[in-house]
Amino acid sequence: MRSTLSHITTEHLGICSVQWCSARQVSAKGGAPSGYDRGTGDLRAAMLRHLLAQEGVDERRIKKLEAKGIRSLKKMFQKSEWDLAHILDMSVDDLQTLLLRVATRDCPKPSSVMEMFLQSVSFPSSLRTALPQLDNALCGGIPTAAITEIAGVSATGKSQFCMQLAVLCALEHHDGAVVYFESCGNFSAKRLMEIASERLSHQQYSTDALRQSKVEAVARQVRVVTVENLDRLETNVRGLLDTMSLVGGKMLIIDSLATMAKNSATEMSVADRQMLLLRVASDLKLLASTYDAYIVTTNHTSTRKDHSGLYSQPALGLAWSHCITNRIVFEKVGRGRSTMAMTVHKAVVAGPACIPYLLTVRSPTLPENLAVMEG
């Protein structure tokens, strides 16, 4: 399936630079697919063609299947063996052998418990956030194969936190790429490089030349794409389903999903927008599980009041809240603008937790119970 992102990958995402930083904003071009069925249909047809080609089925026979409306594995296995043998012009015995080989390729390979344990030890399934209290609350950090939402009002450090996660992922996975979808203009290449420089060990990178070289390497791993609305987001996420392995993607950051939904509000009804959002969520889950990737989104919140007092209400509705795996809400506490608290509202492996933190340019000495996020 051709997509907007496939062009961006080859033309822009390879070598992008802002002076000596490759973390550059790239505008996504092209339109969205006409519908969900068309997008998933193309993906299933491509998968079927790929599996049949691997088994040596020639193009002529594949086109005969497609002419009969057989464009997915499900439809292929629903047909009788006699019908398929007639369409493919082969004997029933040869067809049965082909179906068995295709089914074997498509089915996931079983893993033993020991293999799973060794995999989890060798390749940790969580990304540490550099905030020990938050990592402890999440039992390790931001998990892979899951959707983590960062919600909060403006000026609480959501985009700052996303840039910090991008740097940490690039440092943890030297060959992995971070795809950063941004919509509200909060991304700063200069700030990302400052964060990268602050995260480098002075012992390991003792000279300015070594430090600058590593910062450049980290910056090259972050690829930024400007996405205006949910239609463009759906197009690009589906493009990533095909190109994630090509770019070596390990993390996808969407900042901000609420802004993209708001920009789509004038173009479609509330029901259509909600359905589109759920389709995006489904694609994000597939992307996360297929590539064992970190998926991080940001969301806006509004302040509500009930009988127990004031509370933060994330946007995008109840249906979206059921799609995400973790939700961390950033809130301002007290009168000090720099004093915040992040609350783990939802997590699979952890209970609710509230962690104070500060947004600072450099990390000062702080009490042990106070987390610090570079800001």
Q: Which sequence spans correspond to the domains of the chain?
A: 4-32+125-374, 41-106
Domain 4-32+125-374 in CATH 3.40.50.300: yes
Question: Is a pLDDT exceeding 90 seen at residue 277?
Answer: yes
Average pLDDT, the chain: 80
Measured at the alpha carbon of residue 236, what is the angle toward residues 234 and 239, in degrees to the nearest 5?
110
Tokens 């990304």 belong to 127
Token digits of residue 353: 């937790």
- Average pLDDT in the 91-95 region? 92
Considering only residues 106 and 232, tell me which one the structure prediction assigns the higher pLDDT. 232
* pTM greater than 0.75: no
- Using an 8 Å Cβ cutoff, are 360 and 338 in contact? yes
Give the residue among 247, 331, 239 at the shortest CA–CA distance from 286.
239
Q: Based on the number of CB atoms within 10 Å of its own CB, is 371 exposed (0-12), middle (13-18) or buried (19 or more)?
A: buried
Q: Rounded CA gap, 1 and 32, in Å? A: 13
Query: Residue 47: helix, strand or coil by DSSP?
Result: helix
Q: Which of 43-47, 125-129, 346-350, 360-364 has maximum average pLDDT? A: 125-129
The average pLDDT across 213-228 equals 94
Token pair listed for 15: 């070598």
Which phi and psi (to 5°) does residue 274 adopt? -65, -40
Q: Token pair 């400052």 is at which residue?
A: 194
Question: What pLDDT does residue 31 have?
Answer: 39
Q: Taking the CA atoms of the chain, what radius of gyration do you get in angstroms?
A: 23
